[in-house]
Amino acid sequence: MSSTIREAGLGAGASKVTPLPARAAANTPVPLDHRIARNPGMKLDLGFVESVRSVNRSALERRVASLTKRRSIKADNQAAWLLRAVACMDLTTLNSNDTDERVRRLCAKAVNPFRRDIVEGLGISDEKIRPAAVCVYHPFVATAVDALRGTGIHVAAVSTAFPHGLAPLSTRLQEIEASVKDGADEIDVVIPRGLVFGAKWRELYNEIVSMRAACGDAHLKVILGTGDLATLRNVMLASMVAMMAGADFIKTSTGKESVNATLPVGLAMVRAIRAYFEETGYLIGFKPAGGISTAKASLDWLVLMKEELGRPWLEPDLFRFGASSLLTDIERQLEHHLTGHYSANHRHAMA
């Protein structure tokens, strides 16, 4: 685990704060050589962790309210933003009644997310606008890998005794290794929330470091279970420890908590991402999950990312939705954009 902090070019007395990437327009093409340097993590710095513990909930809520009211995205612009939401989606099935066939149907939907008439009406026949990944339980990883081979769509596995993370660490690590062996190239792990309540930051850090090592080349998305963490302060502290331990993404929720992704929690987490970037120079991804089921909600999240972190965080390398029914509503909105009418959900195939 590297502990290097990127401070190249700093002279005596110079600030080590790294500015965020330039804020280009949302529809600005990303350069062809666009690459995200993977976060190597850093040594656990409890002083740095403590520096982000002060969270003003009222201020965050006011900021969120201003973001969602100030922007109005309409007509062709709205359609373009909704297509961007699809490209940043982890299409997910995490049900107790999942089967291989259901996963295959979900993968088929990921490969062809829109009806042909919608594709032709939008003029995107030559574009490959697809969800970034399909997310499944470990027993279905091999099925998804086989169904998605050659498509460029990633396979994400939820591991580490999802959704509670209460199995022995050795068991959780074995599950990660098994999912990677079956072909998953993204691993969504869940932390034991009790470590946060007990302020056991060293133990939490060490567990995530071990999970990162078990992932190998697969990217690590760390689920905080924010609905269980009680306070935004806990959310901020857990976010920072996860990034220090080498998380490639930090993720809000499992989707199984009573409260899942909310915009104030998301704002706290993206500001932790900004603080980590300013300290280290590494860009960390963000994934809100659970309860994001409408096209309107997806636009709110995209606006949040654009306003707080900038254009690079509108790419699937750095932003994902954890979603199941969201794709259906986006497809309905796109049909309304083309025809002026909403269609029934059953006209839009889903697993």
Q: Is 86 helix (H, G, I), strand (E, B) or coil?
A: helix
- Write down the catalytic residue from 287, 306, 317, 329: 287
Rounded distance, CA 269 to CA 272, Å?
A: 5
Helices 75-87 and 295-308, interaxial angle, to 10°? Answer: 80
Spatial neighbors of 135 by CB under 8 A, at least 6 apart, are 90, 91, 92, 93, 94, 156, 157, 158, 186, 188, 322
Rounded distance, CA 82 to CA 101, Å?
A: 28
Q: Is 296 a catalytic residue?
A: no
* DSSP H or E segment with residue 274: helix 263-280
Spatial neighbors of 228 by CB under 8 A, at least 6 apart, are 193, 257
**Nearest to residue 189, comparing CAs of 211, 168, 205?**
211
Rounded distance, CA 26 to CA 225, Å?
A: 30
Max Cα–Cα distance, the chain, nearest Å: 64
Q: Which one-letter amino acid corresponds to residue 55?
A: V
Q: Is 221 a catalytic residue?
A: no
- Write down the catalytic residue from 90, 188, 228, 329: 188
User: What are the backbone dihedrals phi and psi of residue 127, each rounded to the nearest 5 degrees, phi first?
Assistant: -100, 145
**Nearest to residue 289, comparing CAs of 272, 305, 271, 301?**
301
Rounded distance, CA 229 to CA 244, Å?
A: 19
Q: What is the DSSP letter of 191?
A: -
- Write down the catalytic residue from 90, 109, 182, 251: 251
Q: Is 43 a catalytic residue?
A: no
Which token pair is 207?
Answer: 């567990």
How far from each other are the two terminal CA atoms of the chain, in whole angstroms?
40
Which token pair is 173?
Answer: 């690590």
Which residues are catalytically annotated? 188, 251, 287
